[in-house]
Every structure is written in C-alpha cells, then in structure tokens.
Homo-oligomer: A and B are copies of this chain.
C-alpha cells in the first residue's frame, strides 16, 4: 500500500521559490494500477520522486506498506521521464538492464533469461549489444522500460514512459504493462499525458490541478479487467470515462 498524506514540496533555488506541490493526499492500494494525469509542470515528476524516496518533501508524508519513506524502498523500479539520462552510457543495453538484477542478486542464468525476455518484450531483440547513445529516442525509452520490467518490482513508478514511441509500439507496451501487473501483482503508479492511455490502463485515474497543485479529482475506471486495444477502446463506457477525465483536466487548466 502506498499513502501520500498532505504532501507539499517547495523548490528553493537562487531566489526563485516554486511551490510545486501544495497539498496532495491519495492512496494506492497494494496491487493497484493508478494513472496520474495533470497539466505540464504541475508536479507529477516531483510527486513521483517523493514517493520513490529520492526527494525530501517540504511537508506531509509518504508511506509505503505503512512505513514512512526516507529512501528508495526495496523492490521498487522507476522509469524516469529523462530516459536518456537515466541509462548509463558506458554500458551496453544488456548491461544496463542486467545491472539492477545483479544488485538484487538474481542468479546468473535467471538474469540472462530476464534480460532477454524483457528486451524481447519491448522489441529490442538484436540491440542488446548496442550502447544507449547508438539508439533512437524511442529505443532508449524502451530500454529503460525493459530495465524496470526485468527487475520484477513490487512497486513500479513510471513517468510518461511511452512519450517517445510510436502509436503501435505504445499500444504493445501498454499491454505489456498490464500483463506484467497482472502476472506479478505489482503496485503501479503511472504518469501519462495521454488521456485515453490513462483510462485504458488504470483501475483508477488521479487528476492533479495545475500549480499550486492539489488533487483535482479521482475517477474509478469501471471497465472490465480484461482489456484489449480494439474492444476496450471501442466500448462506449471508455468514451464516457475519457470525456470525464478530459473535462476535469480542462477545469484544472482553467483553474490556473
């Protein structure tokens, strides 16, 4: 379980003071898949960093499984928005994916298997020995995803993980995330700008207001658990839900 209580974050640097998050409270249950949407610059990345224990909040608290977060909790994987910079340029794609597994002390044969499977899953078979800077933007992002997938995390934080891939790949990756989630019972917090995506993926969508940021609204996605790119998106309920989200976001922007 993941609880965010009254979270507040103020950036102070060189005279500039930005209140990125004013007061955020929400909960993600164990094994839930929650999507987070909100205007650009509203503080989604900041929130994710706080949840991951990478950033100290200025106020409020984050709890994972009942314990206050004061450093990255075990079994957590993060896909950063700056995917390019989060890959290590001195390692091949394979080594990048494998390294966290080594740290987790996964035995070697299993490691090889996980790396291969996850690179396969993101469509990068054959690029295992390339360096990240030899890849296109979308491919780099997929390496970052493969790394998180191979890690088999208990908690997965993803910050606009499909921003750089084409529509078709995106659809495939969406399904990948859902299947991973079902298979491993991962708790997922998923930041996206794509409203359809948030509805398609999530069990719940949390909408943030624009800065100073609070939770604008939450919406439970009551679509069937078995989702499918064609039928689910064609479902009239899907259209209804996406319109609701869209309206809330419009409101959020106007409120600014």
Q: Given A137-B82, A137-B160 in contact, is the A40-B129 Cβ separation under 8 Å?
A: no
Q: Which of A154-206 contact B (CB under 8 A)?
A: 160, 163-170, 193-195
Q: Residue A77 at the B interface, CB < 8 A?
A: no
Q: Residue A250 at the B interface, CB < 8 A?
A: yes
Q: Residue A11 at the B interface, CB < 8 A?
A: yes
The smallest beta-carbon distance between A111 and chain B, in angstroms, is 23
Contacts of A169 in B (CB 8 A): 39-40
Q: Which of A68-109 contact B (CB under 8 A)?
A: 81-82, 84-85
Q: Residue A153 at the B interface, CB < 8 A?
A: no
Q: Residue A18 at the B interface, CB < 8 A?
A: yes
Q: Residue A110 at the B interface, CB < 8 A?
A: no
CA distance A193 to B162 in the complex (A): 10
Against B, the Cβ 8 Å flags (1 = close, 0 = not) of A40-84 are 110111100000000000000000000000000000000001101
Contacts of A139 in B (CB 8 A): 40-41
State whether B11 touches A166 (Cβ < 8 A): no
CA distance A154 to B249 in the complex (A): 35
Contacts of A45 in B (CB 8 A): 136-137
Can you tell how many copies of this chain the complex includes?
2
User: What's the tally of chain A residues with a CB closer than 8 Å to chain B?
Assistant: 42
Kindly report which residue of chain B lies nearest to residue A85, judged by CB atoms: B84
A-B residue pairs, 9 tightest by C-beta: A40-B138, A166-B193, A163-B163, A41-B136, A81-B137, A40-B165, A41-B139, A40-B166, A39-B166
Q: Could you jot down 30 A-B contacts, CB within 8 Å?
A: A13-B134, A16-B129, A16-B134, A18-B134, A37-B166, A38-B166, A39-B168, A39-B169, A40-B137, A40-B138, A40-B139, A40-B165, A40-B166, A40-B169, A41-B135, A41-B138, A43-B136, A44-B136, A45-B136, A45-B137, A46-B136, A82-B84, A84-B85, A138-B193, A160-B164, A163-B163, A164-B193, A166-B193, A168-B249, A170-B193
